[in-house]
Amino acid sequence: MSGADKAKRTLLGIAIPRDELALRIAQPCLGMTAAPGTDATEALDAMDRLAGPVPMGTSFRRAADAAVLYFHECINAGSQPS
């Protein structure tokens, strides 16, 4: 196995916490920050409640899933995301 193949396997094995990535997407979009001591899941749920009738948390979690999929596709293709 080449060095590039080993690096690719390592990158694909990295766990990216879904709610943490979703929170990092949500914070600049909503202009809100998580309360100190709150974990990502709690913060997303709180932002979802504050957003009113539009369930934003689910949308940001789907965006996080799409971002991870995109990064994995780029890694598999051997290219770097821009």
Where are the chain's structural domains?
3-77
Greatest Cα pair distance, the chain, in angstroms, is: 52
- Show contacts of 62-67: CB within 8 Å, 24+ apart: 63/22, 63/25, 64/16, 64/18, 64/19, 64/21, 64/22, 64/25, 65/18, 67/21, 67/25
Q: pTM of the predicted model, to two decimals?
A: 0.68
pLDDT in tens, 43-73: 988 887 876 666 666 788 888 888 888 887 8
Q: How many CB atoms lie within 10 A of CB 76?
A: 11
52 DSSP assignment? T
Specify the pLDDT at position 64: 87
Q: Where are the beta strands (DSSP E) in the chain?
A: none
